[in-house]
Chain A
Amino acid sequence: MNELVSAVPWLGKRNPMAARWLIIILALAAPIIAWQFGRSWVRILDFALLYMMLALGLNLVVGFAGLLDLGYIAFYAVGAYTFAFLASPHFDVHLPFWIVLPLGAAFAALAGIMLGFPVLRLRGDYLAIVTLGFGEIIRIFMLNLNYPVNITNGPQGINMIDPINLFGWDLSRNLQVTETFSINSLFLYYYFFLLCVAGSILFIQRLQISRVGRAWAAMRDDELAAKAIGINTRNMKLLAFSLGATFGGVAGALFGAFQGFVSPESFSLMESIAVLTMVVFGGMGNIAGAIVGAFVLALLPEILRDVAVPLQQTLFGTVILDPEVLRMLLLSLAMILMMLLRPSGMIPARARYAHAENMKREGAQ
């Protein structure tokens, strides 16, 4: 949160308290503002929050522990499919949300360890290739496990997944406050996801400023030296993979429940790349970077879709560049400019690994 606060332009350094409140108010008011532009924008914000969770989780693996993971979306898939298996008419199992969510997280963590073991000795390019392969394997499993026994329902995906139900409170129904006033389900999801993102930030920040966070940073900066000061790099790598995967799994489970439908095409390599781009774009290794990167890059294609098509029609009378093509074009351009001008991301804050309150010593300079 402190990183996020100091990342607020102008205000962050001068008046952190005001910046903090500004962030909180903006976060709470965002869906109300978006509603003015149409309900689809609130939905887009909901997805942006899921992407934030993904970016936070991936940042833990790539930014903190320095393990380049190009198959991160696999854990998102594991979470989503776990939810779909255990809370949908597909197997006719309808376990409650509070049981399925931890299970989704646990299975994703397990997948993280499964990925972690074979890649313990790899780093850099080699690690990237293997994780990329892992992501594809999971997706292809999802795609093909419908024969001879139908487990995943193949390319059709799984439909009619139970919505999120918090102790009998169904988030997919509009909340009827009075006879004439009701809160749209999209808002309910937004605030629930916001709570999840806030929880993720809190957890990840605590991990960062701890012996585990320092061990990851040590491993990232110099693995040999990390071993030489007694860090068990094997365990720390597995921990990074499994904890990172946990966040992916939770996000995936929420995604499945929110969308009510999962299919393998949501978990393609492009999605892994998109999440990695968010982390790199925002600033690797710091929480604020992941948040801002995810927010900007989740909104960008939607804004393009809304702006580019009408703009091209008025200018040229026809749509020359499809928004999807334009998105990749602009994204690549943004990345190239970014690497040239701000190689450490939009918010190149240096992450702290020691508590500020412990750092005041007697007679300090």
Chain B
Amino acid sequence: MITLLEARNIGKRFGGLQALTDVSLTIRKGEVYGLIGPNGAGKTTFFNVLTGAYTPDGGEFVFNGSELPAGKPHKIVGRGIARTFQNIRLFRDLTALENVMAGHHVRTKAGVWGILTQNRFTCEEERLTTQRAYELLDYVGIGRFAEVVSKNLSYGDQRRLEIARALATEPQLLALDEPAAGMNATETAQLKLLIEQIRHDGITVMLIEHDVKLVMGLCDRVAVLDFGKKIAEDVPAVVQKNEAVIAAYLGGGKHAH
């Protein structure tokens, strides 16, 4: 198995709160990697540090063999890491299609001069961007809503649109922050199929999720965070039986804090 992402001793502190302490983990190419833990364990902080929204206080990420530029989101996306958000963050006044087209920004090059003169390169790039956006909307199953302004989409479709937008950046690693939050059982089942399809198409997936059934059914490996520390990392079946994990979730006495 080839390592895609390696986190080395990532630390992040907010004032007096140590949100992440020496978190190290490796994600292999082609797997679905789950990141779980109780509320406030630092999962989303880890995502934010990984994708450059925050700069880590210590440690580094090695992606595809070279270090990621810390705190530079657009460069990190350029390197091939895309994310979605726990609370959906779409461009609300744009249509579904335009949202996905905006996601293609980092893979296009047209400059102001090309745009003003509408030269052949720009027109061709624009055409491909549109075409690709339609394909991605179909891929996540909301092609029929291409012209709908995204704020008017249903909740589940907004989640799908966010995934399509992230896929438009042509990532190698897709980081999903609680994609099933607020979904009903049917929607979750469809989401599971979608994530499996994404993995099948060669994109590694990293997943924060509270829905234990989804995590256990979907992930190849799972890491558990608790109070900013990694307390376990293994295949789901093993993690499920890990005492420290059980203690973290149920607040058992054995796990001292």
Please pick, from A207, A212, A229, A243, the residue contacting B82 in the complex, using a CB distance under 8 A: A229
Interface residue A24 (Cβ < 8 Å from any Cβ of B): no
Please pick, from A203, A221, A227, the residue contacting B73 in the complex, using a CB distance under 8 A: A227
CB distance from B26 to the nearest CB of A (A): 23
CB distance from A245 to the nearest CB of B (A): 14
Q: Closest 10 CB pairs between A and B?
A: A230-B77, A230-B106, A358-B130, A221-B91, A225-B89, A227-B73, A214-B102, A210-B115, A232-B74, A353-B98
CB distance from B129 to the nearest CB of A (A): 7
Chain A residues within 8 Å of B53, by CB = 224, 227-228
Contact A214 B98, beta carbon cutoff 8 Å: yes
- Chain A interface category by residue count: 35 or more
Chain A residues within 8 Å of B101, by CB = 211, 214, 353-354
Within B46-103, which residues are at the interface with A (CB < 8 Å)?
Answer: 51-53, 73-74, 77-78, 82-83, 85, 89-95, 97-98, 101-103
Please pick, from B94, B110, B134, the residue contacting A218 in the complex, using a CB distance under 8 A: B94
Contact B118 A354, beta carbon cutoff 8 Å: no
Q: How far is the CA of A23 from the CA of B180 in the complex (A)?
A: 51
Contact B98 A217, beta carbon cutoff 8 Å: yes
**Chain B interface, number of residues (Cβ within 8 angstroms):** 48
Contact B102 A215, beta carbon cutoff 8 Å: yes
Interface residue B166 (Cβ < 8 Å from any Cβ of A): yes
Per-position contact with B for A171-210: 1 when CB-CB < 8 Å, else 0? 0000000000000000000000000000000010011011
Contact B169 A354, beta carbon cutoff 8 Å: no
Contact A212 B98, beta carbon cutoff 8 Å: no
CB distance from A62 to the nearest CB of B (A): 14
Q: How far is the CA of A228 from the CA of B74 in the complex (A)?
A: 7
Contact A361 B116, beta carbon cutoff 8 Å: no
Contact B94 A212, beta carbon cutoff 8 Å: no
Chain B residues within 8 Å of A243, by CB = 112
B interface residues, Cβ below 8 angstroms from A: 51-53, 73-74, 77-78, 82-83, 85, 89-95, 97-98, 101-106, 108, 110, 112, 115-116, 118, 122, 125-127, 129-131, 133-134, 144, 146-147, 149, 165-166, 168-169
Whether A355 touches B89, Cβ cut-off 8 Å, given contacts A217-B98, A221-B94, is no
CB distance from B97 to the nearest CB of A (A): 6
Q: How far is the CA of A211 from the CA of B115 in the complex (A)?
A: 9
Chain A residues within 8 Å of B144, by CB = 365
14 contacts between A and B (CB under 8 A): A210-B115, A217-B91, A217-B98, A221-B91, A221-B92, A228-B85, A228-B89, A231-B105, A243-B112, A350-B93, A350-B149, A355-B130, A359-B130, A365-B144
Chain B residues within 8 Å of A239, by CB = 112
Contact B77 A218, beta carbon cutoff 8 Å: no
Per-position contact with B for A215-245: 1 when CB-CB < 8 Å, else 0? 1011011101111111111000001000100
Contact A222 B90, beta carbon cutoff 8 Å: yes
Contact B115 A230, beta carbon cutoff 8 Å: no
Chain A residues within 8 Å of B85, by CB = 224-225, 228
Contact B126 A230, beta carbon cutoff 8 Å: no
Q: How far is the CA of A115 from the CA of B222 in the complex (A)?
A: 48
CB distance from B189 to the nearest CB of A (A): 25
CB distance from B79 to the nearest CB of A (A): 10
CB distance from B134 to the nearest CB of A (A): 5
Contact A229 B77, beta carbon cutoff 8 Å: yes
Please pick, from A206, A220, A229, A353, the residue contacting B103 in the complex, using a CB distance under 8 A: A229
Closest chain B residue to A243, Cβ basis = B112
Contact A210 B126, beta carbon cutoff 8 Å: yes
Closest chain A residue to B162, Cβ basis = A225
Contact A212 B166, beta carbon cutoff 8 Å: no
Chain A residues within 8 Å of B77, by CB = 228-230
